[in-house]
Amino acid sequence: MAIATIFIIILYVTFTFSYTELACAIPRAGGGFDYANRALGKDWGFIAGMAQNIEFVFAPPAIAFAIGAYFNLFFPEIPILAIAISSYVVFTALNIYGVKAAAIFELIITILAVGELLLFTGITLPHFEIKNLQHNAWPNGWQGVFAAIPFAIWFFLAIEGVANVAEEAINPKRTILFGFGSAILTLVILCIFTFISSVGVAGWEAIVYKTDGTTSDSPLPLALGRIVGSNNVLYHLLITIGLFGCFAYRKNIGNHHYLSFRCFNIIYCVYDSVASVKEKRTAIRKTF
């Protein structure tokens, strides 16, 4: 996982720099769709737009299940699926209610989420031991490294959505540059601190497997429980604030999906390739 995370850090840092230039040059809400459409034509623009939307469509359910897993630690009698569906509906409704309200809510919970990770790091880092990072560090060889890449991507997933607000920015050449730069710097620092402090407490098995041998969907509470116990106020505080991290990510994905799903342009690209002008206009009218 550590090797995969290093590769992903390099990938996202370099990707962010190039994506920032595109966002400043083409300040449009479509993100990758607009960039590919301008450079490679409408067919490739459609493919890029759909790839972006697939990410934003499938990521929210995963975050909703993470929220369910954290809530389940407090209320084990409530099924994780029920909590996940409820959170999905609530945050989708918030996005529909209004962009301003959603942005304010996202800013508040993001600050709380960053504070939670810093609190976790401050508690666990004094108990860090290098031998825990080296313990069983190569269980599945290079195959395990490649298998861990999708999980390492979750440290940075959806940062490209910053470009989707370029169209709403007053001065995108300044604000998008500052937004991308501060975002990737924050994520890299939190990624390194969180990874080292959680694994360094008792090894990677301690945050992957519960005491009964089953895998866990909430690794940070397992690491903290090794230090303060599951009845300590700091343990419950971490879980409570950790929910805000899931909320922030769920709202983040929801906003990106809302901004990037430019349905008219995507449908236009599809019918531009397979229909005449008259057929295309008729199909679009029927669609809407």
CA max distance for the chain = 69
For residues 113 and 151, give the distance between their C-alpha atoms in angstroms, rounded to a whole number. Answer: 19
SS3 content of the chain, % helix, strand, coil (to 5): 80, 0, 15
Residue ranges per structural domain of the chain: 2-287
Give the angle subtended at the CA of 229 by the CAs of 227 and 235, to the nearest 5°.
90
Superfamily of domain 2-287: Amino acid/polyamine transporter I (1.20.1740.10)
Distances (CA, A) of 209 to 42, 217, 221, 232, 245: 47, 9, 12, 21, 22
| The pLDDT value given to residue 249 | 56
For residues 170 and 102, give the distance between their C-alpha atoms in angstroms, rounded to a whole number. Answer: 19
Give the angle subtended at the CA of 37 by the CAs of 36 and 39, to the nearest 5°.
60
Whole-prediction pTM: 0.71
Q: What is the pLDDT of residues 160-205, one digit of tens each?
A: 777 777 777 778 778 888 888 888 898 899 888 888 888 888 888 8
Q: 39-64 burial, b for 16+ CB within 10 Å, e for fewer?
A: eeebeebbebbbebbebbeebbeebb
Q: What is the pLDDT of residues 54-71, one digit of tens each?
A: 777 777 777 778 777 777
Cα–Cα nearest to 130, from 199, 68, 61: 199
Q: Give the pLDDT mean for 21-44.
A: 83
In this model, does residue 287 exceed pLDDT 60?
Answer: no
